[in-house]
Structure 1
Amino acid sequence: MIENKKIYVVDDDPEICALLQTYLSKNGFLVDSALNGLSFLDSIARDNNYDLIVLDIMLPDIDGFEVCRRLRTFSQIPVIMLTANSDETDRIIGLELGADDYLAKPFNPRELLARIKAILRRSASSETVVATGRYYHFSGFQLDVTCRELRDNQGQKVVINGSDFELLALFLQSPGETLSRETIADSTRGRETNPLDRFVDMHVSRLRQVLNEDAKDPKIIKTVRGKGYILTVPVEQSDAAIN
């Protein structure tokens, strides 16, 4: 359900903020906006009850990368980054810092709306996984799909953002099955991937970092050359946590 979902738009262009505020409001969202990063961070620190952030990279005080980095220290609200740079570097940096998706300027508001809906739909659908067991146990980790929490073998909470959670849940639902880049893109982004788009590879790389994988010799999620990726460790699902 979109009704009452709250979106925060951060862009230094008042016209873009006004346009998105009007367009998203007409499509059932509650929308707030800020023209710079520090104002947004101050606001979100006082009230982080938002469902998604639309964040421009080019801001007048601190850039969107720094805003995203600071945001991720206390919140895992999904982030869509806007970039005017056609170079892939901005996109890769944003994903490494924990952004869930990106969109190049200029863009059609309808495409942004589609991406917002896709992210919110994935977040909602992941909550239904509890029908077959609330917890996934694998390689010393425990994923709680109700609270959307990941804990290590010491019971310590591991920081994981929304899109990484969705990707991990996808792998855990298909242990031992090779997932193509197209399948991953469709499941985590809600659309097809471009063969030259490194989003999926960067996303898997980021998830491996969350799981403390050795980049040169990963043990949990392995690359299947020319085909995709596979979760190679045993997975158990249960209704009870393991303390």
Structure 2
Amino acid sequence: MITNKVLIVDDEPSIVKMVQMVLQKEGFSQIYTAGSCKEAIDQIARHGADVIILDVMLPDGSGLELCGKLRAYGNPYILFLTAKVSDLDVLAGFAMGGDDYITKPFNPLEIAARIKARLRRTDERTTLDAGQRSDRKVYRYGRFQLSEIEGELLVDEKPVNCPAQVFQLLLHFCKHPGIVFSKTQLYEAVWGIDGLGDDNTVMVHIRRIRERIEFDPSAPTHLMTVRGLGYKLVKEPMTR
């Protein structure tokens, strides 16, 4: 039995029922539902949530705007449900604090798989925090420094806000400097599911990293694109 709390926010009862039934079959025992922004706030204030499945279009507001309000109640994993698939829509979702997204129509088993992978990764990191803190490092590359223990990013010696998935992706690059990773490899390494990721998820998080560590995100010198192959982090910033 999985005791992590899940909140499903969607105004379509058929979708809520379908997702709820699949999650119950997959072992989730604490599932709450809401059909509006107001109900979602009430539910998370009353019960809390480790995972939030959040529709973008709700009858009393935008799920994108609601995402920021839900973050005030902790750091749940937020998975957007959306019929919109443009890069701008995806970017807006991540900018508001989303961790991942899935487009309608969808297979509810994929949602369950993504949630389980995320929770598994969180448990693994908690175990590392408890038992292997002495082995963890501070990574220094050019103008930025990443501390794995403190979960802190410093750029030009100043702390920079870094959401969890952005931090984990940058940490993966820091642990493997000079190695080229494809989008699929990065999604598997950070989000935890092979073959279920969307290229936009990785691309948007790459952009979010560059916005933090590069002088000019459009002309990066640290986190480089290797055309046709993927991305790599260079030890010394490249000059242009």
Alignment TM-score, normalising by the size of structure 2: 0.79
> 2:66 maps to what in 1?
67
Please list, as runs of the form range in 1=range in 2, the aligned pairs for 1:1-243 lying within 5 A after superposition. Answer: 3-29=2-28, 30-44=30-44, 46=45, 49-72=48-71, 75-130=74-129, 131=132, 133-138=135-140, 139-145=143-149, 149-152=151-154, 158-189=160-191, 190-192=193-195, 197-211=199-213, 213-233=215-235
Distance 1:143 1:47 in 2: 34
Distance 2:50 2:125 in 1: 15
Q: Deviations over 1:156-177 (max 9, x none)?
A: 6543333223212211221222
Question: CA offset at residue 228 of structure 1?
Answer: 1.5
Q: Deviations over 1:134-163 (max 9, x none)?
A: 343324433334x6x224268865433332
Secondary structure of 1:82's counterpart equals strand
- Which residues of structure 1 form unaligned runs of 5+? 235-243
Question: CA offset at residue 213 of structure 1?
Answer: 4.9
Is contact 1:151-1:158 (8 Å) kept? yes
Q: Deviations over 1:169-224 (max 9, x none)?
A: 21122122222222112223312278x93332212112222446521232432222
Q: Which has the higher contact order (CA 8 A, sep 6+)?
A: 1
Question: CA offset at residue 72 of structure 1?
Answer: 4.4
Is contact 2:184-2:199 (8 Å) kept? no
Secondary structure of 1:230's counterpart equals strand
Secondary structure of 1:198's counterpart equals helix
Question: CA offset at residue 18 of structure 1?
Answer: 3.0
Is contact 1:77-1:162 (8 Å) kept? no
The two structures, once aligned, show a CA RMSD in angstroms of: 3.0
Identity of aligned residues (%): 32
Question: CA offset at residue 129 of structure 1?
Answer: 4.8
> 1:237 maps to what in 2?
none
Is contact 1:13-1:35 (8 Å) kept? yes
- Which residues of structure 2 form unaligned runs of 5+? none
Q: Give the paired residue count.
A: 229
Distance 1:140 1:108 in 2: 40
Distance 1:56 1:80 in 2: 9
Cα 1:48–1:224 change in 2 (3 A) is farther
